[in-house]
Amino acid sequence: MKKNFKVLFLAVFVAAASCSFTTKEFQDPDKDKLLLDLISYVLEKGHYSPAQMDDAFSESIFNNFIDGLDPIKRYFLASDIAEFEEYKFDVDDQLLAKDLTFFNEVYSRFVERQNEARKMYAAVLKKPFDYNEKEVINVDYDNTKYVTDKRQLKERWRMQLKFSTISGYYDLYEEDQEKIKTDESFTARAEKEIEKKSRKSTLTSLDEYFEFTDDLERKDYFAIFLNTIVEQFDPHTNYFAPPDRDRFDLRMSGKLEGIGARLQKKNDYITITEVISGGPVWRGEHMDVGDAIVKVRQDDEEEAVSIVGMRIDDAIKLIKGPKGTKVILTIKRVDGTIDEEIITRDVVELEETYAKSTVIEKEDKTFGLVNLPQFYFDMEDYDKRNAASDVKKEIERLKEEGIEGLVLDLRDNGGGSLRTAVEISGLFIKDGPVVQVASSGKNKEVLEDTDESITWDGPLVILVNELSASASEILAAAMQDYKRAIILGSKQSYGKGTVQNVVDLNQWLRNSDVGDIGALKITTQKFYRVNGGSTQLEGVKSDVVMPDRYSYIDIGERDYDNPLPYDKIEPANYDVFDGYIDFDAAIAKSKARMVLSEQLALIDENAHWIQKRRDEMEVTLNFTEYKSEIDARIKEGEKFEAINKYDNKMSYRSLPFEMELMKQDTTLREKRKRWHKSLAKDIYVEEAVNVLQDLKLNNIRKNKVTEIKN
C-alpha cells in the first residue's frame, strides 16, 4: 500500500503563486514607502502569528536598529541617542503612516559619525601602544554605555584598537619564539618592531573595512532597517533585497561555492551557526558551531582583514570565493582560544549529505548504525533519490548482516524535507499520525504514515544533539511519543518548530518603474507532535541526557530574539508501541551508567570550562598578563585532550557493497576510514549500543506494532 499524504517541506520554498491575497496593488512611486506598505501588508495577511504593532514593538525596533549599526558603541554619542529618544515609542506609528523620519535621522547621523571615526582611528594608530601599562577592557558591549563626548569616544577607540592589536602582537611574538626553537641562529624581533607591525596590520584592516563601507548606499541601510522590522515577528522572517535573494536561491540549490558554513552576526562577531555536511569546513573538521571568524586573509595576501564589526554581507564577500582557492581564517573557538585555519574553497559534496551506514561489532553481537546528515530529496524527481528511500535501503542491507539493534544518528542534522521525515517514521511503525501541521489560519492537518509495512521492528535508539533541528525533531518526537525508540543525547534538540515560505514581492507591482524590490521569507506554519506538544523552543528532550561541549551554551532557537512561543494543541489519536517489555528499565539503566562514566564527567567538566571562558568579559591589555592568561588557558585545556583519545572498544566495518566500491574508489575508502575512526572515539554511540542491548522485545508480541484508532 503506497503512502498517501500531501507533499510538505520543512525547507523553505518559493511561494509566489500560493498566496491568496495577491489581488491588491501597490503604486507608491517612492520605493522605500512602497516597500514598507507592501511588507506590512504581507506580514499582516500571511504570517503565522503577526506581531502587535504597539509601543513595545516600536521600542524593540528602536533599540535593535541602533544596536545593529553600532554594536560596540564606537560611533554614536549619548547625545545622539538622547535626540533619537523622541521616536522610541513612535516608530510603529511612523511605519503605519509610511513616515521614514526615524530611519532618515539615524542613518544620516550614523554616516556623519562614521566619517568622523575615520580620522579618529587613524590618529590613534599613529602612536605606539604601551603593553607594559596595566589596562583592562570590558567587552560586554551590551551593557556598555555610550560616551558623552568625542574625547571619551577617542579613548574608547584607543582601548578597542589596543585590544584588537594585542592579539596580533602575541601572534608575532609566538611566531619568533617557535623559530628560535628550531633555528639557533634566528634572532627574535625587537618589541618595538613587533608593536609597529601589529599596529600597521590593524590599520590596514580598518582601512579595508571602511573601503567596504564606502560601497554601501542608503538602500543597503534601508534593507537593514526593513530586516529589523520583520525580525520582530520571528527570527526566521527576513527581507531579501535583490542581491540577497539571488544568494539565497544559490544556497538553496546547493551551488554556492565557499567554505560550507552558515554564518550569523552576533553582537560584533561573525559566528558559525551551521557546518554544512559535505562542505570544506566539514570535510576538514576546521570549525564547529559557535566558533567566531575574527580575521580573513586571502592566500596571496600578507595582512589579514579583521571582520569584527563588519556587515555580514561584506564579511561573506571576503570569505567565499571560487572553487580551489584558499582562504586563511582566524578563528575564536567556543572556549575562547584563537586558531588559524587554511581552507580550500569548494562546493558541497552531495554524496556526503546522503545516508550512510556501518556495522558495529561488540563482543559476539552485531548492531547497525545509520547516519543521516539531512532530510534530502531530488527537487526535480522525488522518487529518483530521497532520504527515506536511502535509509530504507541501508536498513535492509544491515538486516542482511544480522544486526540485533539499530542506531539512527540525527546529530547535527538541521532538517529538510518533512515528507521524508514522515516516510522514515513509517519504516518503524505499522501506520498512524506522525506530525500535526497548523497554518496561519489555525487550520490543523495531520500527516500520517498509511503504509502498514515495517522495515525495522527491532530495538531502536535515536541520537540527537542541540543541532538536530526541524525534520530531525519531527522524526525523533514521533518515535518518542510512540515509545518506539529511546532518544539519547543533549538535554534538548534545537527547537525549531516552524516553516517558512519565500514570497516574491514583485508580484504585487503593476506597470511600476521602481525595479526589482526583492522577496520576503515569512513564517506561515507551525509543527506539533502527535502528543499535541510543539517542538518550538523546547525541541525534543532526550530520554537519556548525555553532556556535550554545548551543554551550557545557548545554541538553538532559544538563542534568537523574538522566537514564536511553545504551545500545545489537541493530541492526535494514537496508541504507543507495546513491543518492548523493559522500555523504562532500559532508560533507568542507561542513566545509572551516565552517573558512573568518567568520560562523561570529563566532557561535562569541559562544557562548564567552555561556558566559563565565554562568560569572561574583562581582558587585560598588559602583554605579560595577556600571555600568562593564554598560557594558563592552554594548560587548563590539556586535560580535556583525553576526550578525543577515548576508545569505546567496538569495531566498525562497511557493508559488503561498499567494500566492493572501495576496491576502486580510494577516496571513499579514506572517508569511511576517517568516519570509523571517529565512531571508535564516540561515547554516545557506545551508550546507544548499550541501550540496544538492554532493550528486549516481547517475544509474544515481537511482530506486533502500533495500531492506530482513527
The pLDDT, as a whole number, for residue 243 is 64
The active-site residue, picked from 73, 496, 521, 526, is: 496
DSSP codes, 324-387: T-EEEEEEE-TTS-EEEEEEE-B---GGGGS-EEEEEEETTEEEEEEE-S-B-B-SS-TTTSBH
Encode pLDDT of 318-364 as tens digits: 888 888 899 999 898 887 778 889 999 887 666 778 999 999 999 99
The pLDDT, as a whole number, for residue 310 is 75
188, 222 in Cβ contact below 8 A? no
**Cα(62)–Cα(228) distance, integer angstroms:** 9
The pLDDT, as a whole number, for residue 710 is 34
481 is catalytic: yes
The pLDDT, as a whole number, for residue 17 is 33
341, 291 in Cβ contact below 8 A? no
**Cα(94)–Cα(100) distance, integer angstroms:** 7
Encode pLDDT of 599-640 as tens digits: 999 999 999 999 998 888 999 999 999 999 999 998 998 999
The active-site residue, picked from 417, 470, 542, 551, is: 470
537, 557 in Cβ contact below 8 A? yes
470 is catalytic: yes
Q: What are the 10-residue block averages of pLDDT along the chain, 710 residues in total?
A: 37 38 62 92 93 96 95 96 97 95 97 96 96 96 95 97 92 89 89 94 88 86 95 94 58 55 77 80 82 88 79 80 89 83 81 91 97 89 91 98 98 92 97 93 87 96 96 98 98 94 87 84 95 97 95 89 95 94 95 96 95 91 96 91 95 96 90 94 98 84 40
The pLDDT, as a whole number, for residue 300 is 85
552, 610 in Cβ contact below 8 A? yes
The active-site residue, picked from 481, 504, 543, 694, is: 481
Altogether, the residues listed in the chain come to a count of: 710
**Cα angle value 133/139/141 (rounded, 5°):** 140
3 state SS of 610: helix
268 is catalytic: no
3 state SS of 238: strand
The pLDDT, as a whole number, for residue 527 is 94
Burial class (CB in 10 A: 0-12, 13-18, 19+), 106: buried
The pLDDT, as a whole number, for residue 8 is 38
